[in-house]
């Protein structure tokens, strides 16, 4: 009799599991709370910290949701571990901010197999099968790079040479690939532009300071610094200060930076940074809206871009800097 009941129990568990998998995508698996596993890149920059805050704040006061965030400390392997745990725990939804573009097919297939919907946020993934994710919300990084290039075209007369020092973010991340592409393409089109050095700063202030300090020991002939994020720019500015090289409006080096965080905008307003290209990290409310649309069975676009512009000393006011939310 006992055996009969355990067999019955097993059968009902199997039926329940099958049923649960079928409905999990839109209905919470447990306690009426919709659990979201969020694999975040790291905390490498002010941009990232603002992004994490925006994501957690969007779900924090809503009892219908629980956001479980795992910080990958900029390692894709850590993302795989976190995501596999999310699958095991049976979360209702997964959000991934991918460190780099390549290498996502297998893990995305595992998530699909578990019938869990996925949003790719911020950077992109390079996969052929776009059915592996619901949508990709982020910036148009090539557009950002092109905004910088356009501004530089207006700054460098055709008969003047421009020696450009290029500080690169995490190699293989969409933000790095596209910002680099815009610059490299532009250099091939301007015979008077030259990239005199490409330094790897990994999107962090500490790394940028280290590589810049080393570089400046033997190379001081720089007209433009093209830095792929604000924190690397801050590190580079420190190294330039120590090397006694002037920068900003009227200085030797024109500085181009990406993100346009409050601190960078303040430097720009004060004439220390020449161009801030905006990259908005405040995705939280939009990601939540997309998840709700999905749960309501509404159509959501495959790619969602945010609107962004560029700022110079000439087009920002102190009020604008003060009102900056990140
Ligand atoms: O520019 C940088 C961050 O992927 C847009 O990553 C993001 C970039 C951002 O660490 O500051």
Cα 43 to ligand 1 centre (Å):
10
Which of 75, 140, 145, 169 is the pocket-test mutation for ligand 1 (most atoms within 8 Å of CB)? 169
Q: Where residue 45 sits, what CATH number does that domain have?
A: 3.40.50.2300
Q: Is 118 helix (H, G, I), strand (E, B) or coil?
A: strand
Q: Are residues 204 and 241 in the same domain?
A: yes
pLDDT category, 11, cuts 50, 70, 90?
Answer: very low
Environment class of residue 16 by beta-carbon count within 10 Å: exposed (0-12), middle (13-18) or buried (19+)?
exposed
- Ligand 1 contacts (CB < 6 A) are 44-45, 47-48, 122-123, 139, 173, 175, 203, 229, 258-259, 279
Query: In this model, does residue 6 exceed pLDDT 70?
Result: no
Query: In this model, does residue 29 exceed pLDDT 80?
Result: no
Number of compact structural domains in the chain = 2
Which of 173, 179, 233 is the pocket-test mutation for ligand 1 (most atoms within 8 Å of CB)? 173
- Looking only at the bridges linking them, the beta strands covering 275-278 and 254-259 are parallel
Q: Does a structural domain hold residue 46?
A: yes
Q: Are residues 254 and 169 in the same domain?
A: yes
Q: Does a structural domain hold residue 307?
A: no
pLDDT category, 173, cuts 50, 70, 90?
Answer: very high
Distance CA 234, CA 256 (A): 12
Query: In this model, does residue 132 exceed pLDDT 80?
Result: yes
Q: Does a structural domain hold residue 116?
A: yes
pLDDT category, 31, cuts 50, 70, 90?
Answer: confident
Q: Which atom of ligand 1 is nearest to the CA of 138?
A: 5
Q: Are residues 59 and 121 in the same domain?
A: yes
Distance CA 88, CA 72 (A): 18
| Sign for the pseudo-dihedral over CA of 137, 281, 293, 56 | positive
pLDDT category, 22, cuts 50, 70, 90?
Answer: very low
pLDDT of amino acid 177: 98
| Dihedral angle, C-alpha 226, 227, 230, 232, nearest 10 ° | -150
Q: Are residues 172 and 204 in the same domain?
A: yes
Mean pLDDT of the chain: 93
Can you tell me the mean pLDDT for 210-217? 98
Q: Does a structural domain hold residue 168?
A: yes
pLDDT of amino acid 28: 78
Q: Is 314 helix (H, G, I), strand (E, B) or coil?
A: helix
Question: Could you tell me the pTM of the whole model?
Answer: 0.91
Which of 41, 53, 54, 175 is the pocket-test mutation for ligand 1 (most atoms within 8 Å of CB)? 175
Can you tell me the mean pLDDT for 260-282? 98
Proportion of the chain above pLDDT 90, given as a percent: 89
Q: Are residues 87 and 150 in the same domain?
A: no
Cα 209 to ligand 1 centre (Å):
17
Q: Are residues 51 and 189 in the same domain?
A: no
Cα 229 to ligand 1 centre (Å):
7
Q: Determine the structural domain holding residue 127 and report its residue range.
A: 7-138+282-295
Distance CA 307, CA 115 (A): 32
Cα 279 to ligand 1 centre (Å):
8
Cα 187 to ligand 1 centre (Å):
23
pLDDT in tens, 142-170: 999 999 999 999 999 999 999 999 999 99
pLDDT category, 307, cuts 50, 70, 90?
Answer: confident
Cα 39 to ligand 1 centre (Å):
15
Q: Are residues 126 and 168 in the same domain?
A: no
């Amino acid at each position: 009799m006992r055996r009969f009941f355990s067999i019955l129990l097993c059968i009902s568990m199997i039926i329940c599991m099958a049923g649960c998998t079928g409905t999990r995508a839109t209905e919470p698996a447990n306690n009426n709370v919709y659990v979201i596993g969020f694999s975040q890149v790291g905390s490498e920059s002010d941009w990232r910290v603002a992004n994490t805050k925006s994501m957690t704040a969007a779900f924090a006061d809503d009892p219908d949701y629980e956001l479980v965030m795992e910080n990958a400390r900029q390692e894709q392997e850590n993302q795989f571990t976190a995501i596999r745990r999310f699958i095991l725990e049976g979360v209702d939804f997964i959000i991934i901010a991918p460190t780099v573009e390549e290498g996502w097919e297998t893990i995305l297939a595992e998530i699909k197999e578990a019938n869990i919907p996925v949003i790719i946020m911020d950077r992109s993934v390079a996969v052929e099968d776009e059915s592996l994710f619901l949508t990709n919300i982020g910036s148009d990084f090539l557009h950002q790079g092109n905004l910088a290039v356009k501004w530089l075209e207006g700054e460098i007369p055709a008969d003047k040479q421009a020696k450009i020092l290029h500080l690169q973010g995490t190699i293989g991340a969409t933000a790095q690939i596209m910002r680099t592409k815009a610059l490299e393409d532009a250099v091939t089109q301007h015979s008077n532009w030259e990239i005199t050095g490409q330094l790897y700063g990994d999107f962090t202030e500490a790394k940028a300071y280290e590589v810049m300090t080393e570089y400046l020991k033997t190379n001081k002939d720089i007209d433009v610094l093209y830095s792929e994020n604000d924190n690397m720019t801050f590190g580079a500015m420190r190294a330039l200060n120590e090397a006694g090289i002037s920068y900003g409006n009227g200085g030797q080096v024109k500085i181009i930076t990406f993100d346009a965080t409050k601190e960078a905008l303040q430097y720009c307003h004060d004439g220390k940074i020449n161009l801030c290209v905006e990259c908005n990290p405040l995705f939280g409310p939009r990601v939540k809206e997309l998840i709700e649309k999905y749960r309501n069975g509404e159509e959501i676009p495959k790619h969602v871009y945010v609107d962004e512009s560029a700022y110079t000393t000439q087009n920002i006011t102190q009020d604008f800097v003060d009102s900056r939310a990140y």
